[in-house]
Structure 1
Amino acid sequence: MTEHAATGPVTRSMAVPLGAFAAGAVVAVLLGVFGRVHDPTLSGTTDLGFRTVIEMKVVVSTVIGVLVVLQLVGGLWLYGVLGRRVPSWLGTAHRISGAVALLLTVFVGYSCLWALGLEVGTLHNGEKVPVRAVVHGVLGCAVFGAVVVKLVAVRSRRAPGWFLPVAGGMLFTLLMVVVLTSAAWYVATDGWPSRAGY
């Protein structure tokens, strides 16, 4: 007897994605509120040997961007979209690279919110915060809401079939915009960061 026959058909429910999107929105808003009320400080952050925390974040964010692209390719391959035979190691590699990308994202997100906060409106010197920085900060908070949604989508057996690809696509898009409005912008403006002392 198959497992499906033993347990009966799985009932798909819209409550799963709705609950996940609600929980993700709460996480994103709470991070945004923290970013606004927290007094930014470099104390408690690390530069990993780079000249500044920002330069460290550029390098780690670039690694995240590469891992996210690999996640997209791996996901498309696993779903059969690429039309190639799926190797046995791909599922494990996809999960490991996703976990590494998530850990690095938490590390960079912590550094951003702790050291810079969420900048919107006007800076202390009276200058307006650039639109790029506002978009980066707001969508950076949204990334962690999307992480919640994606984790629910991966673990839920009761969610509709569209939920996992939509959750993965949303997380991919948000992460890529955040990387493009930070690391890619920095490299285009100031060049590739160098390690301190080199």
Structure 2
Amino acid sequence: MADITAQKGKTIPLAAFAAGAVVAVLVGVFGRLHDPTLDGTTTLGYPTVLAMKTVVSTGIGVLAVVQLLGALWMYGKLGVKAPSWVGTAHRTTGVIAVLLSVFVAYHCLWSLGLEVGTLPDGTPVSTRSFVHGLLGCAVVGALVVKVTAVRSRRAPGWFLPVAGGLLFTLLVLAVLTSSAWYIGTKGWPSPAG
């Protein structure tokens, strides 16, 4: 009987990780096959898509840290009992982070694609850009895993923190290979004006 229970406890996480991996690969294939274009994108008043993505991605990075702290607080890992509003704040900031992540991913894939080697104009693609693209694809897959973990009532207790930790790690790495790099080399972007 215990063996059947253990088997059932693994089904949801395995299915979620498989679905997340498939989504990440499909996003990568789309990014690779799609001809990058700026059509259908916005800069939200910044001079370039990269400048806009830097600002929004930095916000996502801050929200990811808020998510981590909120989760630690809710689960009693900070040594102080969390007030009742922390759960609502955690869910709200999580939804905002997901929506902003999808917004940034769209702009990455649509306007920049997942380029390897050289761009059509002959410009070499940096290792940083390629790694960032792969991380971005992995973030989208990890979002699938995390949403499954949050919505599942029958998943084992370890699944949600593992899914959250995976998503947090990938988001931080994606932000470090994009926003942190941009700010370090070009400074904080100013709106066009």
Q: Which residue of 1 aligns with 2:29?
A: 33
Residue of structure 2 aligned with 1:19, choices 4, 15, 21: 15
1:76-91 correspondence to structure 2 within 5 Å: 76-91=72-87
Write the distance in 2 (CA, Å) between the matches of 1:76 and 1:165: 10
Residue of structure 1 aligned with 2:170, choices 152, 171, 174: 174
**TM superposition shift of 1:19:** 0.1
Normalised by the size of structure 2, how large is the TM-score?
0.94
The alignment partner of 2:9 has SS state of coil
The alignment partner of 1:74 has SS state of helix
CA RMSD of aligned residues (A): 1.4
**TM superposition shift of 1:123:** 2.5
Q: Are 1:109 and 2:110 matched, yes or no? A: no
The one-character-per-residue Cα deviations of 1:109-133 (angstroms, maximum 9, x if unpaired) are 0000000000222323444321111
Q: Are 1:60 and 2:56 matched, yes or no? A: yes
Structure whose CA Rg is larger:
1
Q: 4+ runs of 1 displaced by more than 3 Å?
A: 125-128
- How many residue pairs match? The answer is 188
Write the distance in 2 (CA, Å) between the matches of 1:103 and 1:178: 16
Structure 1: gaps (5+ residues): 1-8
* Identity percentage of aligned residues: 69
Q: Are 1:70 and 2:66 matched, yes or no? A: yes
Write the distance in 1 (CA, Å) between the matches of 2:51 and 2:161: 33
Q: Are 1:132 and 2:151 matched, yes or no? A: no
Residue of structure 1 aligned with 2:40, choices 44, 49, 61: 44
The alignment partner of 1:177 has SS state of helix
